[in-house]
Amino acid sequence: MESIFGLPAHPLLVHAPVVLVPLATLFALVVAVVPRLGRRTAWALAAAAAVCLIATQLAVSSGYAFDDLVAGAVDTDEHRGLGETTRNLVLLFFVSAAARAGLGALTVTEDRRWLVPATRVSSAVATLSSIMATIWMVRTGHEGARLVWDGVLSARLL
């Protein structure tokens, strides 16, 4: 996606994951700290992670289009690399949150004693990956803002 209402899409679309990923991380932390919420909110957390993944993918895709627009006017390699790492961390967050929700829906029986540790591991991975995704989101956003506000991009495009 290149533009929205005639404006470059990337600067508009990045705001969704910048807000949603940290909010989903707070949700994951609350679920991790208050275990009794885990079973009731597991699918909601997986849905929040899915929304974060979609928003992040839209931001990354529009970033590629925006990179073509600036066409070498500025070196975006660092920002692009951070964005791709962020997307991968959000993907891990989604997969582990969905695994946690799926495992939590199963019933623990004598044959399924492995469910308890598997659920704990998937919950831990979801929480840690969401924290890492938030950290990388901040790093990515900071690098993108630096590209714009250092005057390099704005001076060359205007």
Instruction: Report pLDDT digits (tens) over 110-143.
Output: 778 888 889 889 999 999 999 999 999 999 999 9
Residue 105: pLDDT band by 50, 70, 90 thresholds?
confident
The mean per-residue pLDDT over the stretch 100-105 comes to: 89
pTM for this one?
0.88
What domain range includes position 27? 3-157
Angstrom distance (rounded) from CA 107 to CA 32: 20
| Residue 151's CATH number | 1.20.120
Instruction: Report pLDDT digits (tens) over 46-77.
Output: 999 999 999 999 999 998 888 887 777 778 88
> Tokens representing 69?
């627009």
Q: How many independent structural domains does the chain possess?
A: 1
Residue 33: pLDDT band by 50, 70, 90 thresholds?
confident
The mean pLDDT of the chain is 88
- The type of residue at 31 is V
Tokens 């998937």 sit on residue: 122
> Tokens representing 94?
């989604």
| Residue in 62, 70, 67, 119 with CA at minimum distance from that of residue 87 | 62
Three-state secondary structure call for residue 3: strand
Angle at 50 between CA 36 and CA 87, to 5 degrees: 115
Tell me: pLDDT of 9 over 90: no
